[in-house]
Structure 1
Amino acid sequence: MHQFPRRLAGVGAMLLAACLLATPASAQTASEGLSPTLANIKRTHVVRLGYRESSPPFSFLDQSNRPIGYSLELCEAIVEEIGVEVDDANLKIEYVKVTSDDRIQAVVQNKIDLECGSTTANAERAKQVAFSPLIFVAGTKLMVPKASTISAPTDLKGKTVVVTKGTTNEQAMHAIDKKFSLGLNIVTAPDHEQSYQTLVDGKADAFATDDILLYGLIARHKAQGQFKVTGEYLSYDPYGIMFRKGEPQLKAVVERTFQKLGSGRDLIPLYNKWFVARLPTGEKLGVAISPQLEEAFRVLDDKHGSN
C-alpha cells in the first residue's frame, strides 16, 4: 500500500474546515432566483462535466471510451443535488473533454459547469475558479526507469524531465531546478499519457507529476517491471472539483453534496472502490486512504451533524 507522510495529517481537514466556514451552508430559495450556472442548467436540462482522458483513477476512459472515475462519480452526485436545487430530476449529463492546459479556462469561459479531474486547489487558481471540499491529497514525485539511479532532486542534474503542460508539477520542477541549480531540460507534453510515452520512448530521464497519477499509469500499462516511482514529495497538492467563482448558491449545492456524502459514510467506500479495489478497466492501485483525507471526510460528517 502507498501511504502519504503523516506530517501532512490534518492539513486537508483544516483547508476543508476553512472552506466550509467561509460559505453559508444553506442554498438560496428558489424564490430568490437561481445563480447563472444553475439558471442555465434549469433552462437547458443539461450539466456539462469536464473530464480527463488519462488521469486514472480520477477521470479516464474505459474500454468503450466512456468517461469514468472517482472524480466523475463525485460530480454525478453533485448533479443529483443540482437537480434538487433546480427542481429537475431528469437532468442530462454532457461530457466535455478537457486537458491540464485548458481546464481552468473551460470553467471560466462557461464551456463546462464542473471540472471532474485531478486538479490541485491552490490560492493562485482560487483567484479564477471555486473549488469543492477536498477530494484527495497528492504530491509531485518522479517516475523513472526501473534501473535508474535517480532518487532525489540532486540526482537530476543536467537531466531531461517531462511534465504535463499547465500542471502544478511543471511549476514545482522549475522551482526545484532553480533551488538546486540543476540545469534541467524541462519538456512538456499535452496530457499525462503523452508525458508517459515521452519517458517510454527514452526522450526523458524522468516524468514528474502527482504520485497517484504515476501509480495509475504504471498499473494501467502493466509497467511495474519497467518503471518505478521514486523520491521525496516535491510539492503538496490537495485536489478539488472546479466550478465557477462568484456563485454562492452553486457553491452551497456543491458543499451540501459533500456533507450528505460525508454524513452517509459514502465517501470512504467510494474512495476504496477507485483506489483499493480492482478498477473497471482491470488494474488495481491498492492505495490506502491517507490519514489527512480520512480526517477531512470526518470533518464533513461532523460539520453536517452540527448544522
Structure 2
Amino acid sequence: MKNTILTSIVLAFTLGATQVNAESTLDRIKASGKITIGYRENADPISYSIDGKPVGYAIDVCHNVADEIKKTLQMPNLNVEYKVEHPMTRIPDLITGNIDLECGTTTHIIQRDEIVDFSTAYFVTDVGVAVKKKSHINKLDDLIGRPVVLTKGTTSEKYMMSLKRTDVLNFKNLYGADNKESFDSLSSDRVVGWAMDENTLVTFIAKSQNPTDYKILDGGLSKEPYSIMMAKNSPKLKAIADQVITHMWNSGEMGKLYQKWFQSPIKPSNINLNVPPSASFKALEKQPTDKGIDLP
C-alpha cells in the first residue's frame, strides 16, 4: 500500500466507521424512492450547472445509468435528485449515504479502491500545465523554482506533489480552493503555471477574456480516467453502470457525446471548445475498462 494516501481518503475511511453496511446502495434507493447524484458545478463541459440545473458530458452518462436503475428496480417514477459536490466532500458523502453516485470529474486511482468502487471509465484526459505565452516557459523543467498553482483535493495536485517529493520537478506549490481560484491565480500572474487535467485547462482558457494568451505544455504527464464513483456495498449497482457505459462506448453514443460537448457550441456562452479527441480517449473508446491509475 502506498504512503501517498489522499487526505480525502483518510477522512472518508474515518467516516466509514459509522456507515451502516447492512443495506446496499440499491436497497437504499429502492426504500427511499429516489436516487441522489453528486456533481460538480463548475467543471464544464463534463459536469457543471446552468441556473442551478446540472448539465454536461458526465450528466448525460449518469442520466442513462439512472434510467437503467429505474428499469432494474421496476420503479419508472423514481425521483432523481442532484447535489453539488467538491473534491474534499465527495468520498465522505458517498460513504455516509448523502449521495448514491458521483458524476463529475473524479479520477479512478487504485488507492481509492479500498473504500469506494468505480464504474468503467466514461472519459479520459491527461494532466497538463497551462502557462502564459509571454512567460517563455516551454517545457516542464522551466517550472523549476517557479510558483505553480494546484487545485486542492484533485488528483492532479497529488500527482504534481509526488513529482516534487521525488525531486523530479521541484517547483513552488501554491493552492487554489477550486478551479476558478486556480485559474485566477494564473491569469493575474500570481503564478506562472496551473497544473490540472487538460480538459479543465482547455475549458478555462477558452472561456477567458484572452484565450490566445495561454498554452499548455506538452509534458507527457499522467492520464486521468473519469468514472462514476459509488460506495463499496453494491456490486449490482456497479454492474448496471458498467453495462450502460460499455454499451455507450460500443454503440458510438460516447463519441456523439464528445462531439456534443467538445466540438459544438455549449451553453451558457455558446463557446465551441473545438478540441479533437485525444489518443487516450480513442484508446479507451476501442477498449473500455474500469482499471484505475496508480499514483507514484
TM-score, normalization: structure 2?
Answer: 0.83
Equivalent pair of 1:35/1:249 in contact (CA under 8 Å) = no
How far apart, CA to CA, are the structure 1 residues paired with 2:185 and 2:46? Answer: 22
Aligned to 2:211: 224
Post-superposition CA distance 1:112-153 (Å, at most 9, x none): 111111111111112221111121221211111221122222
Aligned to 1:14: none
Aligned to 1:274: 261
Asked if 1:199 corresponds to 2:186, the answer is: yes
Deviation at 1:65, TM superposition (A): 3.4
Deviation at 1:178, TM superposition (A): 3.4
The AA in structure 2 aligned to 1:40 is R
Structure 2: which 5+ runs fail to align?
1-21, 289-296
Equivalent pair of 1:153/1:176 in contact (CA under 8 Å) = no
> Match of 1:232, SS?
coil
Aligned to 1:164: 151
Aligned to 2:19: none
Q: Give matches, 1:46-57, under 5 Å.
A: 46-57=34-45
Equivalent pair of 2:163/2:170 in contact (CA under 8 Å) = no
Deviation at 1:273, TM superposition (A): 0.7
Q: Give matches, 1:167-182, under 5 Å.
A: 167-180=154-167
How far apart, CA to CA, are the structure 2 residues paired with 1:165 and 1:93? Answer: 29
Aligned to 2:85: 98
Aligned to 2:96: 109
TM-score, normalization: structure 1?
Answer: 0.80
Identity percentage of aligned residues: 30
Aligned residues: CA RMSD: 2.1
Aligned to 2:274: 286
Aligned to 2:53: 66
Aligned to 1:215: 202
Residue 237 to residue 182, structure 1, CA distance change in 2 (3 Å): closer
> Match of 2:99, SS?
coil
Deviation at 1:298, TM superposition (A): 4.0
How far apart, CA to CA, are the structure 2 residues paired with 1:223 and 1:178? Answer: 34
> Match of 1:85, SS?
helix
Deviation at 1:289, TM superposition (A): 2.2
Deviation at 1:182, TM superposition (A): 5.2
How far apart, CA to CA, are the structure 1 residues paired with 2:218 and 2:248? Answer: 34
How far apart, CA to CA, are the structure 2 residues paired with 1:106 and 1:289? Answer: 32
Structure 1: which 5+ runs fail to align?
1-33, 301-307
Deviation at 1:105, TM superposition (A): 1.9
> Match of 2:150, SS?
strand
> Match of 2:104, SS?
strand
Matched pairs, number: 267
How far apart, CA to CA, are the structure 2 residues paired with 1:139 and 1:263? Answer: 22
Deviation at 1:217, TM superposition (A): 0.9
Deviation at 1:73, TM superposition (A): 0.9
Aligned to 1:39: 27
How far apart, CA to CA, are the structure 2 residues paired with 1:250 and 1:48? Answer: 13
Deviation at 1:262, TM superposition (A): 3.6
The AA in structure 1 aligned to 2:114 is K
